[in-house]
A and B are shown apart, each in its own frame.
Chain A
Amino acid sequence: MTEIPGTIAGATIEGPAGPARGYWSNVLRRLRRDRVAVVCIVILALILLAAIFAPLVAPGDPFRTSMLRRLRPIGTPGFPLGTDELGRDMLTRLVFGGRLSLFTGIVPVINAFVIGTFLGVFAGFSGGRTNMAIMRTIDVFYAFPSVLLAIAISGALGAGIFNSIVSLTIVFVPPIARVAESVTTQVRNLDFVDAARASGAGAFTIIRVHILGNVLGPVFVYATGLVSVSMILASGLSFLGLGTKPPEAEWGLMLNTLRTAIYAQPVVAALPGAMIFTVSICFNLFSDGLRSAMDVKL
């Protein structure tokens, strides 16, 4: 239990104390040994970099249409991934589409991470009626299926990227707050919180140091897993016309506009879906790897 498999090779001979390394360098070392996680990180990094530097990476203009070269197959000279229903270069649009898709995937989760952690820790630490009030309110949101809730809020706020981010944030606050609340409730009854109080720590110090120190890890891992859900929901909103508006490139929206071509060019039409699938599965596997790498307590 005390000896992590990874430490044997790097352990110094002096004493059984184990290497005195920082927590994060230990996490990193364990993560590096997880081949699946490494592959996922590499794929995600490539996609992210391509999206950030889209104008440099993409071969063409994402908005240049041509009625003459509509729905070309994969491997057409000049258009390695074919063209869409308006003759725009698929590769270019996929690279540019990554910007919005990743943005709408990650930003709501970051927002929800901050708000949800705050609410959950506050509720968990206060306990009693405050906890009841916050958590039961959150349960109301939690009771709706996430897709329905996102559609309902987006529908009420109107289409647009900003509104879809707001609606997705609202969707993700409840699950994150619940994780934060349950970990907080567990932690605040442990001896080390009493020990900290016994050595004179006030409520603020206990929350800042001991509660957050223990809550952030699990919540972060959970939130990483939510990025894939967020991307899928954001794509779904775009697909329904509630998120990004044409002619903007976004994977969900592309999937929507290309669905008419599903018989003519099935492979090209499926490409945006494949991107969504790849990125979300990579986030999920990475979050799994992170979970086991961060578990000091095992």
Chain B
Amino acid sequence: MTPLVRIEDLRVRFRTAERTVHAVNGVDLSLMPGEVVGLLGESGSGKSVTLKALLRLLPEARTTMSGRMAVAGQDVMALGGSALRAYRGSVVSMIFQEPMLAFDPVFTIGEQIAEAVRRHENADRTAARARALEMLDRVRIPSAKRRLDAYPHEMSGGMRQRAMIALALACRPKLLLADEPTTALDATVQIQILLLLRELQKEFGMGVIFVTHDIGVAVEVSDRLAVMYAGRIVERGSARDLIRAAAHPYPRGLLASTVHGAMRGRRLDAIPGAPPDLAKVPDGCAFAPRCRFADAECVSRRPDIVRIDAGHEAECRRLDAVAASAEG
């Protein structure tokens, strides 16, 4: 089977008058049709930028992109004009973090979904509206017929995110990009949305790239996980590999700093230090300054990718020392 998405050595830089930010520094990622990959990382690790790069949504005047990206056989870097517009929405679509902001406040939900349908399919007004209604039903919005004429501000956060999913899936994309779709929702609604996404993903057979900073959420929805740090993927593997046997010190630190399983009354083990300034790419491992296993070579030379298991890889020179410390 050919992969649905193949990203090779993606690099993204943002230029401003004062400085250049190296947001993504060589990301390789591939995704099979019908597979869900969770991109995990803290703010500024480049995960959202990677998603936007896949849709070519980054402001062109200020962005430099290099590398190769192919989705469903199309070279994303080479797309332009009407080919790009056709690609967006019908091949790849996106769910945004804040559903309140992702809908235009002056149009009804139904109008916005129907508009997207009419853009890609030669549907008339009635057919597009019927599709919008069908999609609202699909995402389990109660009394969908009435919500069709509701404005975004008339709906609750969870409803809006459901409607956002309906909008994103209205043209049956092959790949869905989800940019922290549950971050702005409260915990009970989060689970419902995640279950819904997972269900629709199976039903439609889409590939999904799911960006989040919440490990719990990532594990819930993903087949495979990739952990990003400073614009690179530092470890990847199945959800199980990463939770049970994270090899790289950064994901290990992330896991240690979650509340799950921590002893009451004990301080959480936070990772010391702060993420690096992306104004310049470090020569060595970007995590080295915060890593207690790091030595001089970690700082000066970029570590190679080490294969741990089938499909489980980490970018670290000191995996033995890390593993040893866990046993001792």
A interface residues (Cβ-Cβ under 8 A, vs B): 1-2, 14-15, 17-18, 20-23, 128, 190-192, 194-202, 205, 209-210, 213-214, 217, 296-297
Contacts and interface: CB of A to CB of B under 8 A. Distances in A.
Contacts of A200: 85-90, 116, 119-120, 171
A195 B85 CA distance: 12
Contacts of A196: 104
A171 B242 CA distance: 66
Given A195-B96, A210-B104, A296 B151 contact: yes
Given A1-B153, A20-B149, A197-B57, A202 B107 contact: no
B89 A198 contact: yes
Contacts of A190: 101
Contact of B105 (A1, A15, A205, A296): A296
Contact of B57 (A1, A198, A213): A198
B98 interface: yes
Interface in B35-94: 55, 57, 61, 82, 85-90, 93-94
A2 B151 CA distance: 10
Contacts, number: 100
B154 interface: yes
12 contacts: A17-B154, A18-B154, A194-B102, A197-B55, A198-B93, A200-B85, A200-B89, A200-B90, A202-B85, A209-B107, A214-B106, A297-B153
B153 A15 contact: no
A87 to B, nearest CB: 55
B119 A213 contact: no
A296 B100 CA distance: 13
A34 to B, nearest CB: 20
A191 B102 contact: yes
Contact of B142 (A15, A192, A197, A214): A15
A1 B155 CA distance: 11
A200 B167 CA distance: 12
Given A198-B94, A213-B104, A20 B57 contact: no
B16 interface: no
A21 B151 CA distance: 9
Contact of A296 (B87, B93, B96, B106): B106
Given A190-B101, A191-B98, A199 B116 contact: yes
Contacts of A205: 119
B89 A194 contact: no
Contact of A199 (B93, B98, B107, B148): B93
Given A17-B154, A199-B89, A202-B85, 19 more contacts: A2-B155, A15-B142, A17-B146, A20-B147, A23-B106, A190-B101, A191-B102, A192-B102, A195-B94, A195-B96, A195-B103, A197-B57, A198-B57, A199-B119, A200-B120, A201-B115, A202-B82, A296-B151, A297-B153
Contacts of B143: 14-15, 17
Contact of B167 (A18, A191, A194, A199): A199
B168 interface: yes
A297 B107 CA distance: 12
Contact of A2 (B86, B104, B154, B171): B154
A192 B96 CA distance: 9
Contact of A192 (B90, B103, B151): B103
Contacts of B167: 195, 199
B87 to A, nearest CB: 8
Given A128-B61, A197-B57, A199-B89, A17 B150 contact: yes
A18 B101 contact: no
Interface string B103-136: 1111110000001100110000000000000000
A281 to B, nearest CB: 29
A214 B168 contact: no
